[in-house]
Amino acid sequence: MLKQRILTSLVLAPLALVLVFLTPLDWFSYCAGAIVLLGAYEWSALMGICKRVQRLGYVALVGVLVALMQWHWPVDSLWQQGQLLADANYVFTLSFAWWLVATILVIRYPRFSDAWSQGLVMRGVAGLLTLAPLWLALNVLRSANYTDSSQFGSFLILAVLGIVWSADIGAYFCGKNFGKHKLMPKVSPNKTIEGFVGGLASAALFVVGFCYFNGIDPSLWLIYGAMAVIVAAFSAIGDLLESMFKREAGMKDSGKCLPGHGGILDRIDSLTAAAPIFVVFYAWTMTL
C-alpha cells in the first residue's frame, strides 16, 4: 500500500505542477472544473446514491452550478484593480460559514448526524458547498495579478498546496512517532492530537520558508505563519468532514481511481477547505 501510495504521488505531483504553472488560464479553469466534477461523482456515492444515472445527475447539477459561475465570473475578470469582485467575495463568505458549521458537525459527531444523514438533500447541499467554492477559489488564485505576472497566481496555489502537503506530512510523522491522544476517534480513529499539532507546526514552518525564499518582508512572517496555521486547521476539517461522510456511507475510500490513495475526493478533501479559506485571507490582505 505504501509503495503504491508513493508511486501514485510521484505521478500526481508533477502533473499538479504542470497544471498549475504551464496551463493557460482558460484551460486551467476547465481542468479545475473537471476535477471538481470527478469529485462530485464520488460525493454522490457518499450520499448513498447507487444508480449511475442518478450519480451522473448530481454531477450535472454541480456542473450547471460551475458553468453559471464561469459565465458570471469569467476567470480573467475576477480581479478588478487589484481587488476581488465583491459578489465573488460573497461566495467565500458563505464558504467560510459552511466550514464553521462543518467544524461543529465534525467535533460533535455523531450527535447531529440525524439532521443531515437521513436524506439526500442535506448531503447533496453539503457537496455543493464543499466542491463549488473550491473551483472558484482555484480560479481566483490562479488569475491573481495575472496581467503583471502570469505565474504569480501559480505561486499562490503552490503556497496553498504546500500548506496542505506540509500539514499532511507533519501530521503523519508526528502522529506516528508521538501520537498518544485520539483527535476525533468517532470520525477518524487513526488521527491524533499530536499529529494535528505537528501538522500545524509544519505548515507554519513551510510558510516561513516560503516567505524567506521569495523575499517577503520579515515583519509579515508572523502574520502569514498564523494564517497558515488557520488554513492548515481548516484543511484538517476538510479531511475529517469527508471521513465523517464516508463513515456514514460505510465506505473506506471515496473511489479507486488513484492506487494507494483511493479516489479524487481522498486527495482534494483538505484542499476543499484550505483553498477558500486561503482566498479569504489573501483577499483581505489586498485591502490593507
Asked whether the beta carbons of 212 and 222 are under 8 A apart, the reply is no
Confidence band (pLDDT; 50, 70, 90) for 221?
Answer: very high
Nearest to 221 by CA among 207, 231, 242: 207
Tell me the residue range of the domain where 169 lies. Answer: 2-285
Residue 78 φ then ψ, to 5°: -70, -25
How confident is the model at residue 24, as a pLDDT?
Answer: 94
Sign of CA dihedral 96, 103, 20, 265: negative
The per-residue pLDDT for range 135-168, each reduced to its tens digit, is 999 999 999 999 999 999 999 999 999 999 999 9
Number of structural domains found in the chain: 1
**Is the per-residue pLDDT at 126 higher than 80?**
yes
Average pLDDT over residues 59-74: 97
Q: What separation in angstroms does the CA of 238 have from each of 4, 24, 36, 52, 151?
A: 24, 28, 15, 26, 27
How confident is the model at residue 154, as a pLDDT?
Answer: 97
**Is the per-residue pLDDT at 40 higher than 70?**
yes
**Is the per-residue pLDDT at 1 higher than 60?**
no
CA distance 60 to 56: 6
**Is the per-residue pLDDT at 255 higher than 90?**
no
Share of the chain above pLDDT 70, in %: 98
How confident is the model at residue 260, as a pLDDT?
Answer: 64
Q: The C-alpha cell of 222 is what?
A: 508572523
Asked whether the beta carbons of 238 and 265 are under 8 A apart, the reply is no
Average pLDDT over residues 73-89: 93
